[in-house]
């Protein structure tokens, strides 16, 4: 598919390009635009600019949005943003710099512009940024018939809505009714009697990650957003919550590995290198700690060079165990499975598991060392060092993310580097220290 | 909260237990049941059994489901499963062994039982397992009025539904109408004219991960499921797709770290140790490869013991770079951002980034080595080894998951162990090999 499109761009063949792209869903067109090399992308936008609508624009990844917006003819851009729901306009505009921002705001209707500007007053990654201001409400004293008549008469309705939100005269949401129940009920039924148990509101200042958790935990489809006075200001729908959940996961998996989470598949080698260099440089320094530890034992290694060959085994098995414990803890913190109420139990569990695996691995490695080197004492050193390092790994893997979390930081934030530094240093220290005591 | 509940269980205080649990959402009650230690959990179920309904039961994690089901009074269990949608019954039953399975099937109505048994004929992790058979359909020639009258007259409707699926006389789905549009339209409008562009069906054999991707990519709320003859057999809703997406993420993050993905926060130390031991033992063997490489250079190390202290720096920085490249590749494969069409470009990108960072790190480390040890040649050895290992890390990090994916395996499956083995072996080999050539 990408090859066909590449060929059409190459040949400046507008007809072939349309034949390839027109049948596709906006999300797939956006993906193709993202995957093209930057020069190709510019050519494609020249040939296909008139077809870029609000739907495609809202699907384009933020890493290339600014480029795309700059290149669109002003009329196309204005038409596109007028089509978009307010949450999508906010999502687009928050990544842009001033001239484009002003231009897009100018293209909107007065009421849309007010809604977007209001949203932008809320902090980044808040429910206020995520919500759309387009909501369908009904006074709580209405009947099913009143509501259906109102909806039929309404000129404008959101693209997608799943609930009617009941509001009191001061616009406080007091419940919601699913459209399915509304359709199934007799016209004279009071709306109140159809309201769902699952109703809960979201504060406009709530973190988007907490909103995503709430949708997943309580199987919500939409949730009304309220301001500090408990007044309805918008609604968040599940597709936006699902996108946030997905971004959170991306952040966790990449941060654990020490990658800047702004990375994107369309980045070139220079951008990629720059995103990864910081943690590599930090690792140069943390790895130097291991080197310093080993240096203290140079006299020991001089007497028994085999130690130099064996020491990475203890260190690296500790690194794996630390990574395991860490991944479990970061995931459990993200799903709220690990929290204050059970942190102690989970730490004790990790300690127990670390001791058990330390013993098991010590037996295997100690026995192998004894047999291969025909030296019981070497086997004992390997075994004891392994036990010590497995315990450090298990505890480090859970305590580092818990500590970061307690300090209000992201528990995934490069905790991998901290934990493997701990297991490297401890692995070399325990092994070479014990060797000095027992073997030399 | 957990402390209060613990106290109530301890005191055998049914009233206090109800006071704590009754106001909670089923999902939160299930979380509490999961977090309790097994003995406590048994006591809680004795005190609270009568309140366990279908909603709580379907929220309970599969790791403890069998225990909970075994302990429920038979009448409570039967009532609970009769309340559940067919997809939730399937989800429950597929983890159970024969006696419980038969018992639950026996408790169902004939039509529900048939639907559940049909679902169980589809493979694990297929759309057929994920779908619910409860669907709301309308003949495609109906008008809005026909449909509303039908829904009003219908005794039984699914708990949640968001679309009316249009079917032809042979029960092939031909489109769907959102409830919002149905409500907003005049009674004499033909349903056909309200059908959504976004309509797409899912094969009953599709993988659940692909279904979750489709929901996220196309912002679907529900999708009709069809059999091999294209006939409608059920529907998948977005809350189920969101749960699958979340499980896929869990699998990725844990498998990358070499953890069995059946792990759960309520597991004890023995279970936890057993889940993690396999990859630790494998790592003992892969780490032995490093030891064997180092052994080949014992003569070199004997002459210059400082090499033993420096060699982990090159190896560990390679490990970090490999982990970075790997995390990006696994994530991009999961989101379909990395696929056949751009694999070559991404591999070249990683190679370029690896070379650039290799050069940068080589400069820093080479300079530091030269200054600290007052030996230009040692600096050159450190620098060259670093460049070689960064390239191996960058390529290994992307080629290992691409290779696993091509073989139809999960790209995250402990690829961390493969990649760090590569960077360890290469790190020690390049550094000690170059040292032997240049320094000795």
Mean pLDDT across chain A, nearest whole number? 91
Chain B: closest CA distance from residue A147 (Å) = 9
User: Helices (DSSP H) in A72-192: which residue ranges?
Assistant: 74-83, 86-93, 98-107, 110-120, 127-130, 144-153, 179-184
Rounded to whole angstroms, the Cα distance separating A273 from A268 reads 9
Q: Which of B82-86, B131-135, B318-322, B410-414 has maximum average pLDDT?
A: B318-322
> Looking at the partner chain, which of A28, A291, A316 has a beta carbon nearest the beta carbon of B287?
A316
Q: Are A284 and B255 in contact (CB under 8 A)?
A: no
Q: What is the chain A residue with the closest CA to B286? A: A313
Q: What's the confidence (pLDDT) of residue B414? A: 67
Q: What's the confidence (pLDDT) of residue A146? A: 94
**All structural domains of chain B with their residue ranges:** 2-121, 137-254, 269-438
Rounded to whole angstroms, the Cα distance separating B435 from B440 reads 7
Q: Which of A56-60, A231-235, B111-115, B246-250 has maximum average pLDDT?
A: A231-235
Residues of B in contact with A401 (CB under 8 A): none
Rounded to whole angstroms, the Cα distance separating B50 from A18 reads 62
Rounded to whole angstroms, the Cα distance separating B383 from B375 reads 13
Least reliable range by pLDDT among A382-391, B225-234, B416-425: B416-425
Q: What is the chain B residue with the closest CA to A294? A: B309
Q: Are B177 and B150 in contact (CB under 8 A)?
A: no
Given its phi and psi angles, is residue A408 left (phi above 0), alpha (psi -120 to 50 degrees) or beta?
A: left
Averaged pLDDT, A226-254: 93
Instruction: Answer with the residue of higher pLDDT: A95 or B89.
Output: B89
Residue A127 CB contacts under 8 Å (≥ 6 apart), including other chains: A202, A203, A204, A205, A206, A207, A208, A211, A225, A236
Q: Does B365 touch chain A (CB under 8 A)?
A: yes
Q: What's the confidence (pLDDT) of residue A311? A: 95
Q: What's the confidence (pLDDT) of residue B261? A: 65
Rounded to whole angstroms, the Cα distance separating A47 from A42 reads 9
pLDDT in tens, A297-329: 999 999 999 999 999 999 999 999 999 999 999
Q: Which of B419, B370, B433, B418 is nearest to B390 (CA)?
A: B419
Q: What's the confidence (pLDDT) of residue B398? A: 95
Q: Are A319 and A393 in contact (CB under 8 A)?
A: yes
Q: Do A221 and B162 touch (CB under 8 A)?
A: yes
Q: Do A320 and B268 touch (CB under 8 A)?
A: no
> Which tokens hold the place of B324?
């970075």
Question: How open is the CA angle A26-A30-A36, to the nearest 5 degrees?
Answer: 145
> Looking at the partner chain, which of B242, B283, B352 has a beta carbon nearest the beta carbon of A269?
B352
Q: What's the confidence (pLDDT) of residue A384? A: 97
Averaged pLDDT, A196-215: 92
Q: Do B356 and A273 touch (CB under 8 A)?
A: yes
- The ipTM estimated for the assembled molecules is 0.88
Q: Do B301 and A308 touch (CB under 8 A)?
A: yes
Q: Does A330 touch chain B (CB under 8 A)?
A: yes
CATH of domain A2-121: 1.25.60.10
Residue B342 has pLDDT above 90, yes or no: no
Q: Does A64 touch chain B (CB under 8 A)?
A: no
Q: What is the CA radius of gyration of chain B?
A: 29
Averaged pLDDT, B269-279: 91
Q: Do A319 and B246 touch (CB under 8 A)?
A: no
Q: Which of B170, B175, B178, B164 is nearest to B136 (CA)?
A: B164
Q: Does B8 touch chain A (CB under 8 A)?
A: no
Q: Which of B195, B211, B183, B43 is nearest to B126 (CA)?
A: B211
Residues of A in contact with B424 (CB under 8 A): 312, 316
pLDDT in tens, A249-272: 999 999 998 887 677 777 889 989
pLDDT in tens, B138-175: 999 999 999 999 999 988 888 788 899 999 999 999 99
Q: Which of A435, A59, A391 is nearest to A240 (CA)?
A: A59
Element housing B101 (H / E):
helix B98-107
For tokens 């014992």, the residue is: B298
Residues of B in contact with A254 (CB under 8 A): 327-328, 331
Q: Do B179 and A180 touch (CB under 8 A)?
A: yes
Mutation target to probe the B interface, by most B beta carbons within 10 A, among A243, A272, A297 is A272
Q: Does A380 touch chain B (CB under 8 A)?
A: no
Q: What's the confidence (pLDDT) of residue A340? A: 86
Rounded to whole angstroms, the Cα distance separating B209 from B284 reads 33
Residues of A in contact with B152 (CB under 8 A): 183-186
Q: Do A3 and B216 touch (CB under 8 A)?
A: no
Instruction: Answer with the residue of higher pLDDT: A96 or A226.
Output: A226
CATH of domain A137-256: 3.10.580.10
Mutation target to probe the A interface, by most A beta carbons within 10 A, among B53, B56, B249 is B249
Beta carbons within 10 angstroms of residue B116's beta carbon: 23
Mutation target to probe the A interface, by most A beta carbons within 10 A, among B2, B54, B247, B253 is B253
> Looking at the partner chain, which of B265, B268, B328 has a beta carbon nearest the beta carbon of A263?
B328
Residue B11: phi, psi to the nearest 5? -85, 0
Q: Does A174 touch chain B (CB under 8 A)?
A: no
pLDDT in tens, B361-380: 999 999 999 999 999 999 99
Instruction: Answer with the residue of higher pLDDT: B154 or A358.
Output: A358
pLDDT above 90: percentage of residues in chain A: 58
Kind of pairing, strands B173-178 and A222-226?
A: unpaired
Least reliable range by pLDDT among B23-37, B218-232, B318-332, B420-434: B23-37
Chain A: closest CA distance from residue B99 (Å) = 30
Task: Count how many Cα atoms sit within 13 Å of the Cα of residue A405 in the half-sphere of its side chain.
Answer: 20
Rounded to whole angstroms, the Cα distance separating B181 from A191 reads 19
Q: What's the confidence (pLDDT) of residue A262? A: 72
Residue A402 to residues A329, A349, A412, B76, Cα–Cα distance (Å): 8, 14, 10, 39
> Looking at the partner chain, which of B180, B264, B316 has a beta carbon nearest the beta carbon of A160?
B180
Kind of pairing, strands A163-167 and A173-178?
A: antiparallel
> Which tokens hold the place of A266?
């369309």
> Looking at the partner chain, which of A268, A313, A424 has a beta carbon nearest the beta carbon of B312?
A424
Q: Does B419 touch chain A (CB under 8 A)?
A: no
| CATH number, domain B137-254, options 3.10.580.10, 3.30.470.10, 1.10.260.40, 3.40.50.300 | 3.10.580.10
Q: Is A262 exposed, middle or buried (0-12, 13-18, 19+ CB in 10 A)?
A: exposed
pLDDT above 90: percentage of residues in chain B: 57
Q: Provide the number of CB pairs (under 8 Å) joining chain A to chain B.
A: 357
Q: Does B14 touch chain A (CB under 8 A)?
A: no
Q: Does A298 touch chain B (CB under 8 A)?
A: yes
| CATH number, domain B269-438, options 2.40.30.30, 3.40.50.360, 1.10.357.20, 2.40.50.140 | 1.10.357.20
């Amino acid at each position: 598919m990408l090859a066909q499109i590449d060929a059409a761009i190459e040949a400046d063949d507008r007809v072939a390009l349309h034949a390839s792209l027109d049948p596709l869903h906006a999300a797939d067109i956006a993906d193709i635009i993202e995957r093209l090399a930057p020069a190709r992308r510019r050519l494609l936008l020249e040939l296909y600019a008139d077809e870029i609508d609000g739907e495609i624009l809202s699907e384009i990844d933020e890493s290339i949005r600014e480029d795309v917006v700059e290149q669109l003819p002003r009329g196309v851009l204005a038409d596109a943003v007028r089509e978009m729901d307010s949450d999508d306009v906010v999502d687009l505009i928050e990544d842009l710099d001033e001239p484009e921002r002003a231009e897009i705001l100018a293209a909107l209707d007065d009421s849309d512009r007010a809604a977007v500007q209001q949203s932008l007053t809320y902090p980044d990654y808040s429910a206020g940024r995520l919500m759309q201001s387009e909501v369908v409400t009904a006074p709580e004293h209405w009947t099913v018939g009143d509501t259906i008549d109102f909806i039929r008469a309404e000129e404008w309705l959101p693209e997608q809505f799943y609930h009617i939100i009941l509001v009191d005269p001061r616009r406080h949401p007091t419940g919601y009714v699913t459209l399915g129940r509304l359709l199934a009920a007799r016209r004279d039924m009071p709306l109140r009697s159809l309201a769902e148990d699952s109703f809960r509101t979201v504060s406009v200042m709530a973190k988007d990650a907490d909103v995503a958790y709430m949708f997943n935990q309580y199987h919500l489809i939409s949730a009304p957003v309220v301001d500090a006075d408990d007044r309805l200001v918008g609604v968040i729908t599940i597709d936006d919550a699902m996108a946030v959940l997905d971004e959170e996961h991306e952040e966790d998996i990449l941060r654990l590995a020490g990658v800047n989470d702004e990375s994107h598949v369309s980045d070139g080698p220079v951008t990629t290198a720059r995103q990864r260099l910081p943690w590599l440089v930090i690792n140069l320094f943390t790895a130097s700690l291991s080197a310093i530890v080993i240096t203290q034992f140079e006299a020991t290694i001089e007497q028994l060079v085999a130690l130099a060959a064996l020491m990475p085994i203890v260190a690296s098995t500790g690194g794996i165990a630390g990574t395991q414990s860490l991944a479990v803890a970061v995931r459990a913190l993200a799903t709220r499975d690990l929290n204050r109420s059970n942190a102690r139990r989970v730490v004790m569990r990790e300690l127990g598991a670390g001791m058990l695996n330390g013993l098991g691995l010590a037996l295997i490695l100690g026995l192998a060392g004894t047999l291969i080197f025909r030296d019981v004492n070497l086997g004992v050193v390997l075994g004891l060092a392994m036990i010590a390092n497995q315990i450090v790994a298990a505890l480090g893997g859970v305590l580092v993310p818990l500590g970061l979390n307690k300090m209000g930081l992201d528990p995934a934030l490069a905790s991998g580097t901290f934990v493997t530094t701990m297991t490297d240093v401890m692995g070399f220290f325990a092994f070479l220290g014990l060797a000095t005591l027992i073997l030399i």
